[in-house]
Amino acid sequence: MDIVARLREIVGTAHVLCGEDMAPYLVDWRGRYRGAAHCVVRPGNAAEVAAVVRACADAGAPIVPQGGNTSLCGAATPDDSGTAVVIAMGRMNRVRAVDAGNGTLTAEAGCTLAAVQAAAHEAGRLFPLSLAAEGTAQLGGNLSTNAGGVQVLRYGNTRELTLGLEVVLPSGEVWNGLRGLRKDNTGYDLKQLFIGAEGTLGLITAATMKLFPLPTAVATAWVSVSSPRMAIDLLGALQTVFGPLLTACELVSEVSLGLVLQHIPNAARPLAGSPWYVLIELTSGGDDAELRERLETFLGAALEHSECDDAVVARSEAQARQLWSLRENISEAQKIEGISIKHDVSLPISHIPAFLDEAGAALAARWPGLRVVAFGHVGDGNLHYNLSMPVAGDNRALIDAQPLVNELVHDLVHAHQGSISAEHGLGQLKRAEILRYKSPLEMEMMRAVKQALDPLGLMNPGKVL
């Protein structure tokens, strides 16, 4: 039996797409990667996923899992061979359980991040994973890339928020590891194999995630600083004074802000121009006015001692949203502006200023006029370091030189003991690049795990390894 016919028997004819109906599933969000597929299948539950995977294994068909298709590294886009079956998880969008007493939520992989946040909020709890694409990004994709977002500083990456997984293995067997335990010291922590694996070891169908008390007080501020060094020093002072109340600390360059002001409607500059800015958020279980007053007092002292150059504290939730929109719309503004070379790197926080200085100087010497759009989660050392020319027509030569650009940037990251992928994963974008920076032993260990779980090599081929 043809695999399309078999898949239609499993999930129903309406949920197996062929021909032009597949188009939205064959290109990534940035429009950088385009592929082809034999078909797209949309299962509705874990049993259907398992049956689909078994059918693909029997037919020798490669499998490409796909969530909200917001990957920035091409992890969810098939190659151009046309042999792959894309498994789109959007129909698996149920929140199965919320246990407020245990502080856990179990949801299927196709739930959008925003839907998981809403379900937690309805139960009087917080699910803290938050990122710009949360309205379309799905939980399974967040897990498969170990997504970070803006609140890693306080709550950790997706890996730290995960207690249990349900996974369909490449054999079609279903591993039910949906445990809501904080302590389970019974051998290998198998769920960690699948978090950050980008669908290359199995297909996550559901997860049990940690919830936290819902904050009742929020204080948000936009602060001008003259340099990344001043931002790092301000971060240290904030951590000393506020400890775990410091939920987010974001670094934004004037160049990044300028793109938002140019391309995003209703965006407004909150302070006079400055080379750099820091977006600060504190949360607590106390009173809004009291927390804002504490932040204002802190920033007043920082201004007095020249530890920052200017600051504004949001007086309402609407003002706080406006400040956050300046940070969260940077990627959208860049997309509107045109193509750029993107880097998602992490560094020891103390190394960020030196890296920015050295990388900026080296790039400017090699490509005069280059524009650096730098921003990111300074509280956890994650920088989005994106490069383009100010005139869109000049970008082609830069894009053609991308291997040289990447080598320069990534070599500096490595020299500063950093990582070339902080939260976007490797996908197909950095699959070859990682060989320069991981030891042969590390790569051998990763390949051994892949061979043990996916001996046929059908799970998301051409990604990560």
Q: Identify the CATH number of the domain in which residue 325 sits.
A: 3.30.70.2190
List the CATH number of the domain containing 345: 3.30.70.2740
Answer yes or no: is 448 within a domain.
no
How many independent structural domains does the chain possess? 4
- Nearest C-alpha neighbor of 271 from the set 235, 233, 303, 304: 303
Mean pLDDT across 294-298? 98
Answer yes or no: is 462 within a domain.
no
Rounded CA-CA distance 338/371 in Å is: 13
Answer yes or no: is 7 within a domain.
yes
Answer yes or no: is 355 within a domain.
yes
Q: What is the pLDDT of residues 334-389, one digit of tens each?
A: 888 888 899 999 999 999 999 999 999 999 999 999 999 999 999 999 999 999 98
Burial annotation 90-113 (CB, 10 A radius, 16+ → b, else e) = bebbbbeebeeeebbbbbbbbbbb
Rounded CA-CA distance 294/296 in Å is: 5
Answer yes or no: is 168 within a domain.
yes
List the CATH number of the domain containing 111: 3.30.465.10
pLDDT at 73 over 90: no
Half-sphere exposure of 332 (CA within 13 A, CB side): 15
* Cβ neighbourhood burial of 63 (10 Å; 0-12, 13-18, 19+): buried
Answer yes or no: is 190 within a domain.
yes
Answer yes or no: is 456 within a domain.
no
Phi, psi of 362 (to 5 degrees): -65, -40
Q: What is the pLDDT of residues 185-216, one digit of tens each?
A: 999 999 999 999 999 999 999 999 999 999 99
Same domain, yes or no: 203 and 224 = no
Q: What is the pLDDT of residues 204-258, one digit of tens each?
A: 999 999 999 999 999 999 999 999 999 999 999 999 999 999 999 999 999 999 9
Answer yes or no: is 457 within a domain.
no
Residue in the structure block whose two tokens are 């002292």: 301
Q: Which domain holds residue 357?
A: 338-424+433-440
Same domain, yes or no: 308 and 233 = yes
Residue 96 structure tokens: 């199965």
Q: What does pTM read for this prediction?
A: 0.91
